[in-house]
């Protein structure tokens, strides 16, 4: 406050002291420029659940990804492997033939063929491929799984010795990328080796194990001992799959519940055996059975199927169809309870975390779309927060910011869903610290910079900012983001016609400039700040004025609801914009520039002239507050000072209205402008003083405080004192002092200043004897320190009240007591 630019006080001159007391600072804070507040724009309730709402700007429905579609078992790929659309280019390699001049050993330079362990590895790969290509689940039955027809007869296969089985060269034979079960013992680890299909025999670890022929005639049998995965498959998983098929083939009541229970058991069995993800060799058989169940069209069953398929890490077309299936289920609010009971949220978040946009972009789109729908449910929203959805979303935002240009359209569609999800999450109080700690707000600014032309994305992010910027920690995070002000101004300029976007960005700027001095100056110093804001002001003011004029020309009847709603929306934009101006001019380096801006002042005055309080109360109150703040800067080039008489006349509309807020702001403006004699004369001529005296009856301390300030200035002119006394100003000031004194020593001091101007300059005869005695009694009691401060119970506030009493009230009260005593002695 000590370094703040000197401005004219509303009611009394400031003390010219370098060191200010606590009460001086408090008084200046109360008399200083006021930050304006307003309500947050309401987020419209979403209509039917679909990818893009009715207000989306993404063209006709034919150019958007569909929200409605049908899914059947035939849409899935049985082998669950993604198709490859890329053909590998041939290697630039030319074989080098041996030199014919080498007569000793012409084959010396050729590479040697692999030895037997590698042949075993080759046999493993061939057998695994053949297993995955089995035609139906029936081929996986135990009686058939241990036999194999010999397709390519060859020479008698070699048998691998025990030493070869245990050699390091064969250590990689064990199921490739499959993870070994933790329940296996080291003594049986070598039994997990796949047989050499080419040889047709199963290698053994010791002589106690029988040698088995695979595919040699009808007498081939299964081995006595199998690896643990085969045991789990044959003894547990295969019976479950057979039971699933059996129940699915029937039509008994309760079959859906039984199928859901079997899916749960199958999931649990695979998890216990460590066979989820892609660790199960026969997962294609499992998926084939699950895909056939989709045709039953049960939301509950399909959600169980989707959960299990995601746990098995499907990819490609199957991943897309599973995400579509989940999206389809989530479109109905009645299915939200299923998502609460079936724990599939983790799997959906894993899709967001690990899938690549360029490979699985459409699957991501429908997965995020489902999460958008679900986040509208408060119970599921809490689940999403508990499972760290905000951090996952932040990582996906980062990936979507760096996609290639060819993926921009798809990434934009995903971002519409993702930002809508974050918009829903931002409503919950627990999400705010997460938005800050995971740097979501700066990441959203990066998204705005990359997708600044996408109105849907910009609108969703503006809704997030309008919600979060109402809270200090989020507002600070946004204010500390580099170039956030220039980014918002750029969006306001690009999308000035999109009203729902503009109003939220302006609301966010208003919140930023309401918190501290730095944002006010940073915003003002941005390139094209004032031109952008004033263009918006002029555009929306012209829009509303033209619409009002058209309605009045067409018919004198009241406006139709549609026209009234449109005018209200336009007013809301102007309210948020004027609030930004009012908050910005609080900064001492910004205020004088705004006060000298002719276009800005003319637009504010035009609003007061063209609007009425009954139809645009919030707008009129905010305009008056902005003028009140600007009126503190009384430099020679101030447009407020040049137009103060016109502004004073316009304020009469607010004083005569039925809105208490409008009256309060108009009274504050008169308190500033009445420092000038021509404004005081105008106020007396227009009977403004009568209305101000009436305001002393208000029960609002702020209203009385402002009224006392206006009366203090009006009483500076001796001719005005008689008129004010005739209106009962003295008696009402005494009542105001009695009622508010002990609770508000600043108000009591202001009332004493007004009384001093009325009776302290030889005009004490204007006060009746009874009023004089009553005033003297009140001042005597209030001047007693113990009596005055006994009203304060809170020890922390006691120092504040004491400082206010000592500096604001006591000096003026003692002067009044002296004058009143001298009058009694004279009498």
Query: How does pLDDT run across 83-126, given as a tens digit for each residue?
Result: 444 445 555 655 555 554 444 454 445 455 444 444 443 443 43
Q: Among 646, 671, 686, which residue terminates a domain?
A: 686
Rounded Cα–Cα distance for residues 406 and 260 (Å):
41
Which residues on adjacent β-strands are paired with residue 213? 201
pLDDT digits (tens, 9 = 90+) for 715-736: 999 889 889 988 889 999 999 9
Q: How confident is the model at residue 63 (pLDDT cuts 50, 70, 90)?
A: low
Question: Per the structure block, which two tokens stand in for 193?
Answer: 């080796």
Q: Are residues 630 and 735 in the same domain?
A: no
Q: Are residues 667 and 738 in the same domain?
A: no
Q: Are residues 682 and 730 in the same domain?
A: no
DSSP structure class, residue 333: G
Residue 769 forms part of a structural domain: yes
In angstroms, how far apart are the furthest CA atoms of the chain? 148
From residue 199, give the alpha-carbon distance in Å to each of 106, 119, 147, 203.
Answer: 31, 9, 13, 10
**384 has a pLDDT exceeding 60:** yes
Q: Are residues 540 and 576 in the same domain?
A: yes
Nearest Cα to Cα of residue 454 among 506, 521, 401: 401
Q: Are residues 594 and 728 in the same domain?
A: no
Enumerate residues 6+ apart whose C-beta is below 8 A from 183: 228
User: What's residue 759's pLDDT?
Assistant: 83
CATH at residue 541: 1.25.10
User: What's residue 83's pLDDT?
Assistant: 45
Q: CA 483, 486, 487 angle in degrees (round to 5)?
A: 80
Rounded Cα–Cα distance for residues 726 and 731 (Å):
10
Residue 339 forms part of a structural domain: no
Rounded Cα–Cα distance for residues 396 and 113 (Å):
48
pTM: predicted TM-score of the whole model, two decimal places: 0.75
Q: Are residues 717 and 680 in the same domain?
A: no
Residue 741 forms part of a structural domain: yes
Domain that residue 628 falls in: 514-545+568-686
Nearest Cα to Cα of residue 154 among 179, 119, 187: 119
Residue 348 forms part of a structural domain: no
In the three-class reduction of DSSP (H, G, I as helix; E, B as strand; rest coil), residue 656 is classed as coil
User: What's residue 636's pLDDT?
Assistant: 87
Q: Are residues 540 and 664 in the same domain?
A: yes
Q: Are residues 810 and 738 in the same domain?
A: yes
Q: Which residue has the tokens 């300030």?
A: 709
In the three-class reduction of DSSP (H, G, I as helix; E, B as strand; rest coil), residue 213 is classed as strand
CA 468 to chain centre: 6
In the three-class reduction of DSSP (H, G, I as helix; E, B as strand; rest coil), residue 498 is classed as coil
Which residues on adjacent β-strands are paired with residue 196? 201
Number of domains in the chain: 2
Give the residue-averaged pLDDT of 307-314: 93
Q: Among 653, 686, 719, which residue terminates a domain?
A: 686
Q: Are residues 767 and 634 in the same domain?
A: no
Q: How confident is the model at residue 279 (pLDDT cuts 50, 70, 90)?
A: confident
Residue 608 forms part of a structural domain: yes
Q: Among 653, 671, 686, which residue terminates a domain?
A: 686
User: What's residue 250's pLDDT?
Assistant: 75
DSSP 490-559: HHHHHTTT-HHHHHHHHHHHHHHHHH-HHHHHHHHHSTTHHHHHHHHHHHHHHHHHHHHHHHHHH-SSPP
Give the residue-averaged pLDDT of 764-774: 75
In the three-class reduction of DSSP (H, G, I as helix; E, B as strand; rest coil), residue 423 is classed as helix
Residue 341 forms part of a structural domain: no
Residue 600 forms part of a structural domain: yes
pLDDT digits (tens, 9 = 90+) for 552-608: 444 444 556 666 777 888 899 999 999 999 999 999 999 999 999 999 999 999 999
Residue 369 forms part of a structural domain: no
Rounded Cα–Cα distance for residues 585 and 594 (Å):
7
Q: Are residues 528 and 641 in the same domain?
A: yes
Q: Are residues 769 and 620 in the same domain?
A: no
Rounded Cα–Cα distance for residues 72 and 366 (Å):
17
Q: Are residues 716 and 652 in the same domain?
A: no
**525 has a pLDDT exceeding 80:** yes
Q: Work out the percent of the chain whose per-residue pLDDT is above 70.
A: 69
Rounded Cα–Cα distance for residues 144 and 149 (Å):
10
């Amino acid at each position: 406050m000590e370094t703040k630019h000197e401005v004219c006080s509303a009611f009394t001159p400031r003390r010219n002291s370098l060191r200010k007391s606590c009460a001086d600072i408090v008084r200046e804070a109360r008399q200083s420029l006021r930050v304006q507040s307003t309500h947050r724009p309401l987020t419209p309730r979403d209509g039917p659940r679909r990818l893009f709402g009715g207000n989306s700007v993404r063209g006709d429905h034919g150019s958007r990804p569909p929200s409605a579609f049908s899914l059947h078992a035939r849409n899935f790929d049985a082998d669950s492997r993604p198709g490859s659309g890329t053909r590998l280019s041939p290697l630039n390699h030319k074989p080098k033939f041996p030199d014919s001049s080498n007569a000793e050993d012409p084959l010396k330079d050729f590479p040697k063929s692999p030895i037997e362990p590698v042949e075993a590895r080759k046999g493993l790969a061939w057998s695994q491929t053949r297993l995955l290509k089995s035609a139906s689940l029936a081929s996986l039955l135990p009686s058939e799984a241990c036999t194999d027809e010999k397709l390519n007869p060859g020479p008698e296969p070699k048998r691998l010795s025990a030493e070869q089985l245990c050699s390091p060269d064969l250590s990689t034979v064990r199921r490739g990328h499959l993870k070994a079960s933790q329940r296996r013992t080291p003594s049986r680890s070598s039994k997990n080796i796949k047989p050499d299909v080419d040889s047709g025999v199963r290698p053994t670890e010791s002589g106690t194990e029988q040698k088995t022929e695979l595919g040699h005639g009808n007498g081939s049998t299964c081995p006595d001992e199998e690896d643990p995965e085969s045991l789990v498959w044959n003894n547990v998983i295969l019976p479950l799959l057979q039971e699933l098929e059996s129940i699915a083939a029937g039509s008994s009541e309760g079959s859906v519940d039984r199928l859901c229970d079997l899916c749960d058991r199958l999931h649990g069995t695979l998890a216990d055996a460590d066979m989820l993800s892609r660790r199960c060799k026969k997962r294609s058989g499992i998926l084939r059975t699950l895909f056939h169940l989709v045709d039953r069209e049960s939301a509950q069953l399909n959600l169980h199927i989707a959960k299990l398929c995601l746990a098995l890490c499907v990819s490609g077309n199957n991943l897309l169809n599973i995400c579509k299936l989940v999206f389809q289920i989530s479109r109905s609010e009645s299915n939200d309870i299923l998502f609460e009971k079936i724990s599939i949220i983790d799997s959906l978040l894993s899709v967001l975390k690990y899938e690549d946009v360029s490979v699985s972009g459409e699957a991501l789109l429908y997965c995020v779309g489902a999460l958008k729908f679900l986040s509208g449910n408060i119970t599921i929203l809490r689940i999403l927060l508990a499972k760290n959805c905000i951090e996952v979303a932040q990582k996906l935002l980062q990936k979507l910011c760096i996609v290639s240009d060819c993926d921009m359209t798809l990434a934009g569609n995903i971002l519409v869903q993702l930002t809508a999800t974050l918009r829903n999450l931002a409503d919950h109080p627990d999400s705010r610290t997460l938005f800050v700690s995971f740097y979501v707000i700066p990441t959203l600014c990066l998204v705005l910079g990359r997708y600044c032309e996408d109105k849907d994305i910009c609108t969703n992010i503006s809704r997030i900012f309008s919600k979060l910027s109402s809270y200090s920690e989020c507002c600070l995070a946004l204010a500390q983001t580099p170039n956030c002000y220039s980014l918002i101004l750029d969006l306001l300029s690009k999308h000035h016609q999109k009203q729902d976007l503009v109003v939220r960005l302006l609301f966010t700027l208003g919140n930023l400039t309401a918190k501290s001095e730095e944002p006010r100056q940073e915003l003002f110093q941005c390139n094209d700040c004032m031109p952008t804001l004033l263009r918006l002001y002029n555009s929306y003011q012209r829009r509303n004025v033209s619409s009002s004029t058209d309605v009045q020309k067409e018919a004198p009847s009241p406006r139709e609801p549609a026209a009234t709603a449109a005018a209200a929306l336009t007013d809301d934009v102007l309210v948020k914009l004027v609030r930004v101006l009012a908050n910005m001019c609080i900064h001492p380096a910004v205020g004088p520039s705004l006060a000298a801006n002719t276009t800005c002042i003319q637009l504010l005055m035009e609003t007061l002239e063209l609007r009425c309080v009954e139809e645009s109360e919030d707008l009129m109150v905010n305009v008056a507050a902005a003028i009140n703040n600007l009126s503190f800067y009384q430099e020679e080039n101030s447009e407020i000072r040049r137009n103060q008489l016109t502004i004073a006349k316009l304020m009469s509309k607010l004083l005569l209205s039925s809105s208490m807020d409008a009256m309060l702001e108009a009274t504050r403006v008169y308190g500033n402008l009445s420092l000038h004699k021509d404004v005081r004369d105008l106020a007396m001529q227009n009977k403004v003083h009568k209305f101000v005296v009436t305001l002393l009856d208000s029960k609002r301390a702020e209203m009385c405080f402002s009224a006392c300030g206006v009366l203090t200035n009006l009483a500076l002119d001796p001719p005005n004192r008689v008129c004010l006394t005739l209106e009962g100003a003295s008696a009402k000031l005494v009542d105001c002092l009695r009622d508010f004194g002990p609770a508000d020593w600043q108000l009591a001091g202001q009332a004493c200043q007004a009384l001093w101007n009325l009776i302290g300059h030889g005009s004490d005869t204007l006060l009746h004897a009874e009023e004089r005695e009553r005033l003297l009694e009140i001042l005597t009691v209030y001047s007693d320190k113990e009596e005055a401060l006994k009203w304060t119970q809170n020890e922390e506030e006691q120092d504040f009240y004491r400082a206010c009493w000592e500096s604001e009230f006591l000096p003026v009260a003692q002067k009044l007591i002296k004058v009143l005593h001298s009058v009694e002695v004279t009498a």
